[in-house]
Amino acid sequence: MSTYEVVKTLNNNVVVAKDDIEEVILIGKGIGFNKKSGSLITEADQNKVEKIYELKGYHEQERYKTLVHIADDNTLKVILEVVNEIDKSTRGAINDDILLSLTDHIIFAMKRLKDGIQIANPFLQETKALYPREFEIAEFVVALLNEKLGVTFPYQEVGFIALHIHSSINNHTLHDMSLMTEVVTRAVHIIEHDLKVQIDKESLMYTRFVRHISFAVQRVMNDDRVPDQTNLDKLLKIQYPLCYSSAVKIVKMMQTHLKKPVYESELVYLTMHIQHFNTQTNDK
């Protein structure tokens, strides 16, 4: 392990440190005890290190320095505790980038809360359906933040934090994931409008549809395609014209938002999923 110099001690168990190349967060029992800025992390101290979060590159290091000066030590300590809990819950599947992204998000979420500013999360239910495990972890995270920081974050924060967790596990950008949830949300709105239904966001049918759309988006982005089924396409167009029409609208919407062509073969599977919602409505 490199020889580190302490930049800032957050508590007895967490320090911000640097070597000749980068800044890191060192976590370990007692590693920050009696350490001040400029102190060296000795060989004995290094044996205490349980986790190292690397701040890669100049911009990440400068951004974290800025955040460290904005937030108080207790907030930073709690955020690190939260990241550690996420790491344990995902069995180490997250990458180090989550430390900076989540620190940034939580600090400014707290500022919005203090200023009485609420940001709506129109993709909350879609996020829950797309990433159920991450959503469950995020619920625990928000509860922990509320308890440790003495705040009351709105439930919408669960969705935002779930996206950060999924992004860290899968190395997807938040932009790509936001685009995914927006496409899913717009698809659901098209179906509800055309079929004049209110889709139950807690239903298994909804979850299956959301996952189908997410896989369809991935196929489009990867230039993959499902096999053509020309005969079935013609049959569905005649037998379920309303559902087929909705599927066409969804495909056009996907092309607009993804800025890529969507193969017509997607229409068959979309129509069949939409017909499930239509059948459920007619059965009532």
Same domain? 98 vs 110: yes
**Residue 93 counted as domain residue:** yes
Q: What is the pLDDT of residue 278?
A: 83
**Residue 283 reports pLDDT greater than 60:** no
Tokens 């997410």 appear where?
Answer: 214
Residue-wise pLDDT for 203-220, tens only, equals 989 999 998 999 899 899
Q: Is the dihedral of CA 36, 39, 45, 51 positive or negative?
A: positive
Same domain? 144 vs 213: no
Q: What is the pLDDT of residue 280?
A: 64
Strand 14-18 vs strand 4-11: parallel, antiparallel, or unpaired? Answer: antiparallel
**Residue 64 counted as domain residue:** yes
SS3 per residue for 259-274: CCCCCCCHHHHHHHHH
The residue count for the chain: 284
Please, which residues have CB within 8 angstroms of residue 227's CB and are 6 or more apart in sequence?
265
Same domain? 268 vs 183: yes
Q: What is the pLDDT of residue 223?
A: 87
Total number of domains constituting the chain: 3
Quote the pTM value: 0.78
**Residue 19 counted as domain residue:** yes
**Residue 82 counted as domain residue:** yes
What's the one-letter identity of residue 22?
E
The residue from 40, 55, 70 where one domain ends is 70
Residue-wise pLDDT for 120-171, tens only, equals 888 899 999 999 999 999 999 999 999 999 999 999 999 999 999 999 998 8
**Residue 204 counted as domain residue:** yes
Same domain? 183 vs 270: yes
Give the pLDDT band of residue 282 (cuts 50, 70, 90): low
Same domain? 35 vs 103: no
Write the CATH number for 54. Answer: 2.30.24.10
Calpha distance 109→114 (Å, rounded)? 9
Same domain? 66 vs 104: no
Write the CATH number for 151. Answer: 1.10.1790.10
Q: What is the pLDDT of residue 281?
A: 57
Q: What is the pLDDT of residue 238?
A: 94
Q: What is the pLDDT of residue 25?
A: 86
Same domain? 66 vs 76: no
Same domain? 187 vs 165: no
Same domain? 182 vs 161: no
Q: Please, is 155 exposed, middle or buried when counting C-beta atoms within 10 Å of its C-beta (0-12, 13-18, 19+)?
A: exposed
Same domain? 55 vs 93: no
**Residue 125 counted as domain residue:** no
- Domain range for 185: 174-283
Calpha distance 33→37 (Å, rounded)? 12
Residue-wise pLDDT for 41-100, tens only, equals 887 788 888 888 887 777 887 888 788 788 888 898 899 899 999 999 999 899 888 988
Residue-wise pLDDT for 231-262, tens only, equals 888 999 999 999 999 999 999 999 999 999 99
Same domain? 166 vs 179: no
Contact 200, 206 (CB under 8 A): yes
Q: How far is CA 69 from CA 112, 148, 281, in A?
A: 18, 20, 55
**Residue 79 counted as domain residue:** yes
Q: What is the pLDDT of residue 1?
A: 62
Give the pLDDT band of residue 190 (cuts 50, 70, 90): very high
**Residue 112 counted as domain residue:** yes
Same domain? 37 vs 136: no
